[in-house]
Structure 1
Amino acid sequence: MDRSVHEGKEKPMTAGPRTRLIDSAIELVREQGVPGAGLSALLERSNASRNSLYQHFPAGKAELVAEATTVAGAHMSAVFDRVTATGTPDQWLSGLVGWWKKALRTSDFAAGCPVVSAALAESEPRVQAAAAAVFDGWNDRLTTALSGQGIPAERARALASLVVSALEGAIVQARATKSVQALDDLQATLGPLLRAG
């Protein structure tokens, strides 16, 4: 994701209100979940007016958070693509784990994955659907990358789903425990399985 999103820095005022609203929604959802990302907090953090919000997102907060989920997913997809561009599957896992360890430590464990938060937004079907689409995209990317390593398609799909699920679960545990131990455990346990293919 954008470095400013991970480090909690203010968005430059050169960014337009739409971009500021999306970035602010990503930050708030990472920190407080969808219910905690209230309109007042979104407007204050983005330095945008209520008119700007409804100009860019006529359906309001749900539309904004769904779009923010899609954008956050695209940022993370780029990380997946960079990590899987070279090396072996266990090295990819190491890259993803390292990336998340840095992101969690940078936020002092206050900010996790906004896609998980969106997935838990039971009262916001549009937001949940955006999260489902992001997860499907991540699984597809990893499946393709694993298949490119000679792993049969069905096995590649299962491994991709396992990596995404285990990584997201470890991120949640890391936030709760204020420790990266769950991510280290994930690397130590899943790494050899990926080496074996």
Structure 2
Amino acid sequence: MSPRRSDSRERMISSAAVLLGEQGAGATSIDRVLAHSGAPRGSVYHHFPDGRAQLIDEAVVFAGDVMAARIAAAASAGDPVAAIDSFFALWRDRLAGSDFRAGCPIVAAAVAADDEGPRWADSAAVVFARWQETLAALFVAGGLPRTRGRRLATFVIGAVEGAVVMCRAERSLAPLDAAAAEIRDLLLHALPDRSEPPAEPGKGSRS
């Protein structure tokens, strides 16, 4: 059975987010999005009157929302260490499951070098700010001062994104695991009255 025409918009946005992460903004063309999503060509300008620029912009927002929801879900238990372990585990699964092709679509949009780049960079900045606020709130709830919580949230996001880039280059999870272990140690020392829980295998534990 062919996909319903009514869901072509969502499929195109999801495909654009995947292609952004794997290939970058420059290579995420309308043709590639259509081939990946299976959406009909006639739906492009019906759903995205501003064309590729709008499609990629909405893909950035979509990808940001998906990750924000994952962060919020992990944070809902109120355990900052477990939440960050979950954040790293998500990227570990994505990298391993894609044979190290998966990257962050938000980063791809932020560093886009073409004429549409500034528009996407603005959207990426909004996404990063949202992630930062979510993580900062978690750290503050765990006992850190607001300023320290925001700094630490920025550091965690930067460490994860940088580690993902290194993992793709090296085709290895080692950079991500190293970053996860160091951030886990940092949190355990920074959070007041924190006793270390047992680390799950492959989630930042240190030998």
Same-fold status (TM-score > 0.5): yes
Does residue 60 of the first structure (1) align with residue 32 of the second (2)? no
Paired position in structure 1 for 2:160: 167
Of 101, 112, 116, the residue aligned with 1:110 is: 101
| Runs (5+) with no aligned partner, structure 1 | 1-11
Deviation, structure 1 residue 90:
2.4
**Corresponding residue to 2:125 among 127, 132, 148:** 132
What's the counterpart of residue 13 of structure 1?
3
Q: CA deviation at 1:31?
A: 1.1
SS at match of 1:142: helix
- Highest Rg: 1 or 2? 2
Gaps of 5+ in 2: 191-207
Q: Alpha-carbon deviation of 1:39?
A: 1.8
SS in structure 1 at match of 2:133: helix
Residues 148-179 of structure 1 deviation map (CA, whole Å, 9 limit, x = unaligned)? 11110000000000000000101111111111
CA RMSD of aligned residues (A): 1.4
Tell me what 2:170 maps to: 177
Instruction: Report the 3-state secondary structure (helix = DSSP H, G, I; strand = E; otherwise coil) of the residue aligned with 1:30.
Output: helix
| Map of 2:195 onto structure 1 | none
Instruction: Give the SS at the match of 2:24.
Output: helix
Aligned equivalents of 1:174, 1:166: Cα separation in 2? 12
Matched-pair contact (CA < 8 Å) for 1:104–1:110: yes
Question: Runs of 4+ in structure 1 displaced over 6 angstroms?
Answer: none
Once the 2 structures are TM-superposed, how far is the Cα of residue 87 of structure 1 from its aligned partner?
5.1
Q: Match for residue 24 of structure 2? A: 33
Checking the alignment, whether the CA contact within 8 Å between 1:20 and 1:48 is kept in structure 2 is yes
Q: CA deviation at 1:135?
A: 0.3
Show the counterpart of 1:88: 79
Identity %: 38
Count of residue pairs the alignment pairs up: 186
How high is the TM-score relative to the length of structure 1? 0.89
Counterpart residue type for residue 25 of structure 1: A
Query: Are the equivalent residues in 1 in contact too, given 2:78–2:142 (CA < 8 A)?
Result: no
Q: Take 1:125 and 1:149, find their aligned partners in 2: how far apart are those partners?
A: 36
CA drift of 1:42 comes to 1.2
TM-score normalised to structure 2 length: 0.85
The one-letter code of the counterpart of 1:186 is A
Aligned equivalent of 2:34, options 37, 43, 47? 43
Deviation at 1:30, TM superposition (A): 1.4
Q: Higher helix proportion, which one?
A: 1
Provide the residue aligned with 1:149 in structure 2.
142
Cα drift, residue 141 of structure 1? 0.4
The separation in 2 between residues aligned to 1:158 and 1:91, in whole angstroms, is 19
